[in-house]
Structure 1
């Protein structure tokens, strides 16, 4: 196991009256040790835990594998379903800027009419997982099975995602807006609907409206072509390399790859929305609860994040995984803390990676 860490100030936060002031507490000196313990517990070939507290960053790297060709914290990692936090922010921005309302029927945007007597599936339903769609299209599994361990999503391209949605809209599992059911399918359709509504593909919308304004220069929806920037994924046992993840037609639900530093920049913008004026309204919007479910409405969701209570205030987070990598993103406005954790090993039963990252953020 090799471990390295660094602490730096990327620049003073701009601050607001309703945001925490830059006042790192006396516990900051323990963060390298705590993050190093988390890196060790991940037991993965490559692991990075990157924390920002009141603008001060502490980044700890390590791994059981050989050192890659560049520092681990400078590689781009596949973040899987945490991509949905980017897509949710993108939709919020398009709504806040007046381009869309969120109430547009997705089928109409994708070129089909509204089925008679049916409640239409809207963009808001898709982003909040209340569209009545399954996790994946019904015919996904037979198509993906031949490449289940290497490239299952790549066998389900854009046109097939859209066609599966337009065929399924007559037979939803339940009426849109009435029940929550996590759906990669739904967010994938959202990406295509946003593209149809604006005449711009999801990845180009992402670049123009999020990556450029936030200066996320080392974030992309597609793997680099042999330039050594992308981390290499591994299987559940941490051995054997896997090809770069191909999201197929599900890019809006899981295609983003980014360096830990870019992920921290993304999270720091949520802690201080005023630092990026083009996105300020959207960054505030995605902190607002839009859905409560479960017994006592314990489960709270925003357009982009899961939202859990802590003793001092809400904790926002999203995790994700591809065939050979994992990621956890989270932030807490009350403590001015953000955490981005990534590793190059697919989760196992009882895996401590996500629970360790969540606990670091929750137990401050």
Structure 2
């Protein structure tokens, strides 16, 4: 990985211009010559909730598991999770990885409305379920026809299935295959609120009600990972140079909408004549975005501790990095 320019003033100015709220936020730009970081109201190693960027990491782990031969290309959920004879047991991991499984976004027994009201009124974490509770809810799910449909449930099950195939837990799988090999020192998957670091960034909503951290064993593969801008920059650089596991997850294999392709979680669209591969994330108090321009060898990450979207800012950073190419990396 190229050297990190800590707290770059030029990038900090652009961060304030593109992400205008006052909550903690951070940005990373990875180019062939340098990795440049900036943060506001947070340290460069402060961990944020990255939300559904967790799915992008699960996509990497899925493709890595295929390469290792731990799962078959036609493997089903029932091959690796204790789901009995329910209809979800026959769903393939491949269909889960591209959001084409026929599973709903969440199981009906999740009581989405009740949990959402508690979130917006009191900042309550809606995702505290254990893996066993997730499996119990899944056994009652009715699988629909295969079609493009974004499913948090699908990625929760996918992550736990590939971890089971490797004989470990999802948390340990992330640690052993992503965190340790790539030296990501601030990336972890807390199952309970007391596992969140005491100096972690605290999220907020537009009403500025304090939000509980989104933790839960079940949630991990779909939205439970926390990370810092430094670690996300390292991950982005590793994806670009091929040292991250499962980087073929970025290759689109099927359509996910008009002129939109999807690989294993990673979405590809064309912008300014170039394919951009990306994923975003959102939790009760955070928004995040990661994007890769593989042809240009560049990447960008934006992390924010409020519920205001950062997708536009992320695309702006990536399609116009705005760095002086004559400036030496440090």
TM-score tier (shorter): 0.7 to 0.9
CA contact (8 A) 2:216 2:224 kept: yes
CA contact (8 A) 1:76 1:218 kept: yes
Q: Structure 1 residues 226 and 247 mapped into 2: Cα distance closer, same or farther (>3 Å)?
A: closer
The answer to whether residue 44 in structure 2 is matched with residue 73 in structure 1 is yes
1:293-304 alignment runs, 5 A limit: 293-295=256-258, 298-304=259-265
CA contact (8 A) 1:321 1:346 kept: yes
Matched with 1:127 is 97
- Aligned partner of residue 139 in structure 2, secondary structure: helix
Q: Out of 56, 59, 62, which is 2:37 matched to?
A: 59
Tell me the TM-score normalized by structure 1: 0.78
1:240 deviates by 3.7
Matched with 2:3 is 9
- Aligned partner of residue 73 in structure 1, secondary structure: coil
Matched with 1:186 is 154
CA contact (8 A) 1:247 1:254 kept: no
Matched with 1:292 is 255
Matches of 1:330 and 1:226, distance apart in 2: 26
Matches of 2:43 and 2:313, distance apart in 1: 19
1:73 deviates by 2.0
Matched with 1:361 is 318
1:88-99 alignment runs, 5 A limit: 88-99=59-70
- Aligned partner of residue 213 in structure 2, secondary structure: coil
The answer to whether residue 217 in structure 2 is matched with residue 260 in structure 1 is no
Q: Structure 1 residues 143 and 270 mapped into 2: Cα distance closer, same or farther (>3 Å)?
A: same
1:248 deviates by 4.7
Matched with 2:284 is 323
1:312 deviates by 5.2
CA contact (8 A) 1:82 1:319 kept: yes
Q: Out of 53, 57, 71, which is 1:82 matched to?
A: 53
CA contact (8 A) 2:12 2:39 kept: no
**Uncovered stretches (5+) of structure 2, i.e. residues with no partner:** 322-330
- Aligned partner of residue 307 in structure 1, secondary structure: strand
Per-residue displacement from partner, 1:263-289 (whole Å, max 9, x unpaired)?
01111111110x45xx3xx22x12211
1:55 deviates by 4.2
CA contact (8 A) 1:10 1:55 kept: no
1:147-162 alignment runs, 5 A limit: 147-149=118-120, 150-162=123-135
1:119 deviates by 9.5
CA contact (8 A) 1:221 1:251 kept: yes
Number of matched residues? 313
1:331 deviates by 1.3
**CA RMSD, Structure 1 to Structure 2 (Å):** 2.7
Q: Out of 56, 74, 97, which is 1:103 matched to?
A: 74
Matches of 1:61 and 1:115, distance apart in 2: 47
Matches of 1:266 and 1:226, distance apart in 2: 21
Matches of 2:186 and 2:3, distance apart in 1: 19
- Aligned partner of residue 140 in structure 2, secondary structure: helix
Q: Structure 1 residues 226 and 255 mapped into 2: Cα distance closer, same or farther (>3 Å)?
A: closer
Matches of 2:265 and 2:33, distance apart in 1: 22
The answer to whether residue 220 in structure 2 is matched with residue 251 in structure 1 is yes
